[in-house]
Structure 1
Amino acid sequence: MKLQATALFFAICFMQSSAFAKEQADKPIREEPNSQTVYFEKNDDWVKLKSGEVIKGELNGTIKKDSNSYKQEIEFDSDDLGGQEIELGNIQELQTASYFTIRLSDGAIYDGYLSIRNDQLYLSNAEQEVSFPVTEVVSIYRGKEKGSEQWETEFTLSMDMSSGNTDELTLKGAIDAVLYTVDSRTKLNASHEEKESNNEKTANNSSIKGSYDIYIDNKLFFRPLDLEAKKDEFKNLNYKVIASIGVGYFFISDETTKWDVTAGPAYTHTKFITVNEGNSLTENSGALKLDSSFDYELTKNIDFSYDYSMNWENEESGGIHHTNEVGFDIDLVADLDLSIDGIWEHVSDPTADSDGKLPEKDDYKMFVGLSYEI
């Protein structure tokens, strides 16, 4: 009896062991993920993506250096991969070794040592630690608030040549510079154009302008200063100075499109080269000034822009001035672009010179050149 019980016990154990072995054999084999150790220096910034990738290097800040941009991407300069554009939503963890300044969607500004964890951005300094959802972050600047200034400068040189029945040469040079801080924007522009046709000068004009904007919130801004000085030999314009103030609004500001409009009162002072006898050589006028700037990213390598400006002054000063400028910037290599610009300028009441010659009301121009951004 004992022998039979012992045999039955071993038989049951054998059957259970066989069943367990078969069950384990039927289960798919799970491979343990590869792991590696990443070493960081004391001054390294590093980011871990939700995909598991880890990159070390240096956080430069948000891609669009504009306090009113909602493009939630940062630029991270990797030691091995170079500049990388990373969406904030793809970041699992970010640690920095440097001081940063951020601007939130409500206009508030904070600075401190920056980190991101679980879709929250943390800033810590000697006084406090604060945190915000990354969706509320409008811009990130490297450095403290007073030192977080970033310049964008673009040089453009355009030339047009033709020969045959008419020998023409057109040269135009322009410099555009924008200074961004966390709560302001300064824009500067200077340009000069000359044109010769059959060895006779047919265009000679220059302009310098600048404006300063203070951000009130993430959409509204105040422009306390807007100055422009220009001259144009073939419009009988010795010089014209326009001073204005205004209020601006960002109607669109996202990752592909930006459109802002500014309007306000202005004052103009105009001096003509020559005038008919009995007319004044200088004119002063109150005015209304309107500016619109539209930028759109057509493709990854092609940007479209449309700028409009209107200055409405008295008839003796020129009446209503319209300037429409359409441009395409096509990426060539690195920071070098092919620039194509079309310009239409209209003056409703041009002033005749001492010979009675009246400048044309409309000017149409086309420029093709190269631009370099630093």
Structure 2
Amino acid sequence: MKNLLNTVYVSDPEIYLSLKGQNLNLLKENETVARIPLHNIEAISTFGHQGASPALMSECMKQNISISFFSSNGRFRGRVIGEVNGNVTLRKKQYRISEDEEKSAKIARHMIVGKIFNCEQILKRTVRDHALRVDTNKVMKAIDRLKVSRSEAGNCTSLDALRGIEGNAASVYYSAFEECILNQKEVFYFNNRNRRPPLDPVNAMLSFSYSLLASETAASLEGVGLDSYVGFLHRDRPGRTSLALDVMEELRPIVADRFVLKMINRQQITKKDFIVKENKAVILTEDARKNFLQLWQKEKQETITHPFLKEKIQWGLIPHVQALLLARYLRGDLDAYPPILIR
């Protein structure tokens, strides 16, 4: 199993990334503020406008260290990666399946079943642990409706129908999501999912965590030899990592949503950590983004027993493991793609 190395998150928009020997050198106003050995790093994510030196990008590509660039608001802009791994046979198989809607649906429905199941578990855990603090009837009704959607997804053979089932299930899940918010409800309210721009603190945090997860999932897919831009449920669109969005579906509830809820309920983030811009977009402050990234990295170090592999892995390796299982399915080593199902 792959070892989880460090992801370096550079949250200061004034930091310029450069190479010093075999070290990542962080410069601010031409002064070194930190230096990190490259052999300890598997990825770099930077938020800002200063960029990175050609020498650093070249060395990172040589050492297979991905560099992801985000806007200061957390919007993914692009990624620098090294030489493509894996063999051409695997990618050709991926491309052939992506052109066949029936075969694509066979894979995609497992991902959507996984997503709906994990959404159910988020809601079930809230009822189980906090029954006296939530509208139990409302949450249980949502869970029952999600079970129906999960059954429909499991039998679906059409991509269009599957997208409709997923959309309806997401609407049901989000209708009960606010019940999972137990503290600071006057600040962290959730009426509906909104983005581009997010209009409240919860949506700002969800969008930020989804951007991080998408980047990490894309890197994991490339790492096992798959093309992150060619998906099965999400069809081809220039510049969109469609396969990463596919694999992300089952990971959103258990990785991103779970993390955001934990931060809110543990009061690790508060009202002062957000800014409302002129267009009503809500974004994290620079200090809040730094805190978010530190806690995100810490969360990735926690361990879990993978339900399919029956092995203990770190949370941060889940995208890599799912990418590996998808590659094994495409190679014919597995009868079906096994989504991760967390109880």
TM over 0.5: no
Pick the structure with greater CA Rg: 1
- Greater strand proportion: 1
Looking at both structures, which has the greater relative contact order when contacts are Cα pairs under 8 Å and sequence separation is at least 6? 2
- Greater helix proportion: 2
TM-score by length of 1: 0.25
TM-score by length of 2: 0.26
